[in-house]
Homo-oligomer: A and B are copies of this chain.
């Protein structure tokens, strides 16, 4: 079995801690290890390092290589961002070529998600991979615990041996729809984790995205190490359609199934999500680094600098200080931090700050 970890994050959502050069997958949000190192470690005993592939942005390859004990050829830098269908197709041809097995199982995972229960996760991976071996494309569907509007949903249909057919993929809903999904049952959060046989995925791509299928064919003879021919890889990559695997393949695929899971998952999409999954004090603060906090509550307070950070009476805020920048915002608005990054990235005197 091959594991393909999608590590293309751009580094805006956890600004100022995350930057273009150190996006979320390279942050240590939960202890000593980076998110991507934790993601790889989560497969201990399930997949060998030589069968673990990373697809990331070109400029992050070296940083990720330093972080992980993986062969350099397993870390594939995208010359340009092409959404998720193209990387998934690439994973399929690489896995098939390296294993010399067209029916090799591939599991696709995001590099920067939080999972509380590793044992539960591994059990789900084993079951889903086994199911995929029989020809299904299998997704993991996280059982929703609140009417979350920040995730896409998977609508389940008929059940068979604990797996459900997928009736539809739903975009991030409005609040009313999210409540309806939760009340109805049978809707699961789309965590971007799925399992397939290489040949099954490639057949679906050729059928639904024929241009991508053809492009992958031109890379087939270098599939063992796609970046070994940088010119061919870059030229081919530049022609690819930028489309998501959900929209481009999964929605129209023949046999797609969802396995409901409950292993304590979060995509940790922004600062506001941290207190829900990381350690908090008795007042609900998630505090990291040397912080002088008096009478603060339900706040995220980070000091990653050698300077003093002092907060008094701060409630429901995000306060993050790094060596060169400080952010202050209400937690409820942490999804808008991109506006800060956009404003700073337009300033020529702020190179490296975004």
Contacts and interface: CB of A to CB of B under 8 A. Distances in A.
Interface of A: 16, 292, 294-295, 307-314, 317, 319, 321, 323-330, 332-333, 336-337, 339-340, 343-344, 350, 353
29 contacts: A16-B310, A292-B343, A292-B344, A294-B336, A294-B340, A295-B333, A307-B326, A308-B326, A308-B344, A308-B353, A309-B326, A310-B326, A310-B340, A310-B344, A311-B328, A311-B329, A312-B327, A312-B330, A312-B333, A312-B336, A312-B339, A312-B340, A313-B330, A313-B332, A314-B329, A319-B328, A321-B326, A326-B326, A328-B328
Nearest to A320: B310
A295 B323 CA distance: 25
Contact of A314 (B309, B330, B353): B330
Copies in the complex: 2
Looking at A328, A332, A339, the one whose CB has the most chain B CB atoms below 10 A away is: A328
Contacts of A295: 333
Given A294-B339, A294-B340, 13 more contacts: A292-B343, A294-B343, A307-B326, A310-B326, A310-B343, A311-B327, A312-B329, A312-B336, A312-B337, A312-B340, A313-B329, A313-B333, A321-B326
Nearest to A308: B325
Q: Which 3 A-B pairs have the closest CB atoms?
A: A308-B325, A312-B329, A313-B333
Contacts of A323: 307
Contacts of A330: 312-314
A16 B294 CA distance: 15
A308 B307 CA distance: 14
A344 B333 CA distance: 30
Nearest to A340: B310
Contacts of A294: 336, 339-340, 343
A323 B308 CA distance: 10
Looking at A292, A324, A344, A353, the one whose CB has the most chain B CB atoms below 10 A away is: A292
Nearest to A309: B326
